[in-house]
Amino acid sequence: MNCKILLIFILLVSVSCAKREIPEPVPKDGSRVTLSFVSKTNDTKTFFDDKATTELWEQNIRTLEAMVFDGMGNLVVRHDFSIEEITARKATFELPASVAQTACSFYAIANLSLGKIASKAELLAEVEESCDEYNAPFEVVTSMAARQDGFVMTGFCSRTIAAGRTTEASIVLERTVAKVAIRTSLSSEFSEMFPGSMRIQSARIEGTASRTPLIRSTESSAENADFSFEQGSFSENETFDNLFYLFETSPSASGTTAYVVLKGIYDRDGDAETTADRYPVHYRIPLSGIIENKSIVRNGYYRIAVTLADLSGEPADVVVAVCPWLTPGVQNYGLGQEEVCEGRMRQIGHFARSISEPEIE
């Protein structure tokens, strides 16, 4: 009798300890989505070196969040990509049965944490108001992302959800800022016309947007054209470089023009020990080039090459072309003044310009 009791006890223990297989829950209609993403960063060039690839800090994705909205604009799914999903550049997650066979909108936001969002309208109303976070001294922005969390990137697409199977969707991510590289150099004739030395000390961005819609919009911008930032120039072999990241601006919306102001010192005798013959100079360059009705577009790349043939403080009417960050364009022009008289700089409005632009891909 005792043996039977012991046998029954052993059987009960073995059954209770056996691993139970719990089936994975499946949505009623079996609908899932595999959302993948790509970014316009893999083949970009950096500054004025056509052989260089994009900087690592310009393409790094630390966090990625996806939001799915139904045809009425209501939020139906919010998915945070795991580190593994970011590495794989895709994630598969479930959708509610109610969206089967309907068109849904997919949005992805990288490197930014959002609060509670209940509708598509609320997401589209979100704006960035921290352009200064992207800008810093030249040695910083050319070695790392000045913004602690990296570049904010967003994108969206629309797909009709298949019932009972997985829907494939892909989003192209764009950075919310444009890249502006400025290279200033002296022409070969400069030293012949003006003995001594010339040094650009800083570049200042004026009149660009201080805020921008988080999601790219074809409608009016949420910009305030009051952002400015001044950065000291890095110099090497009489070449002076600056690099900025800016929100997009629309001349038709703001009614203002963005400018780059170059500030420098002309030393007539080139002697660092004497200061009486030094004169401040500046060049005010409007960024008025337009593509897609924008003067500065997000994820666009401005490469501005300034050649100083003279001295001048006169504004220059220069059209700056915009092209995708994927294919940088270069614009060259010269600015200047023709003479220095009686130890004082006299403006006489001489200006020469030449433009070279590659085709936009």
Please report, as a single letter, which amino acid is at residue 189.
E
CB 205 within 8 A of CB 241: no
- The CATH-assigned architecture of domain 32-175 is Sandwich (2.60)
pLDDT of res. 45: 55
∠ Cα 339 344 347 (to 5°): 50
Give dist(CA 356, CA 361) in Å, integer. Answer: 16
pLDDT of res. 193: 81
pLDDT of res. 187: 80
pLDDT of res. 5: 47
- The H-or-E segment that residue 262 falls in is strand 258-267
Every domain range in the chain assigned CATH 2.60.40.2580: 32-175
- The H-or-E segment that residue 113 falls in is none
Residues contacting residue 9 through CB under 8 Å, at least 6 positions apart: none
Give dist(CA 146, CA 134) in Å, integer. Answer: 5
- The H-or-E segment that residue 254 falls in is helix 251-254
Residue whose pair of structure tokens reads 């059987």 in the numeric block: 11
Integer CA distances (angstroms), 261 to 159, 234, 236, 242, in order: 46, 15, 20, 11
pLDDT of res. 40: 59
CB 360 within 8 A of CB 310: no
Among candidate residues 121, 185, 176, 123, the one with its CA nearest the CA of residue 151:
176
CB 107 within 8 A of CB 67: yes
CATH fold of 177-353: Immunoglobulin-like (2.60.40)
Give dist(CA 132, CA 130) in Å, integer. Answer: 5
Q: Which two tokens stand for residue 299?
A: 């994820």
Among candidate residues 258, 263, 262, 264, the one with its CA nearest the CA of residue 246:
258
Give dist(CA 281, CA 264) in Å, integer. Answer: 5
Q: What is the pLDDT along the chain (361 residues), one digit of tens a residue?
A: 555 544 444 444 444 444 444 444 444 455 888 888 776 544 455 566 665 566 888 888 999 999 999 999 999 999 999 999 998 898 999 999 889 999 999 999 999 999 999 999 999 999 999 999 999 999 999 999 999 999 999 999 999 999 888 999 999 888 999 888 888 888 877 778 888 888 999 999 998 889 999 998 876 666 788 899 999 999 987 899 999 999 988 765 545 677 889 999 988 887 878 888 888 988 888 776 545 456 788 888 788 888 877 776 543 333 333 334 543 434 444 444 333 323 333 322 222 222 233 332 2
Q: Which two tokens stand for residue 296?
A: 């500065």
Half-sphere exposure of 70 (CA within 13 A, CB side): 14
pLDDT of res. 277: 83
Pairing of strands 234-236, 239-247: antiparallel
* CA dihedral sign, ordered 76, 80, 84, 89: positive
Q: How many CB atoms lie within 10 A of CB 25?
A: 6
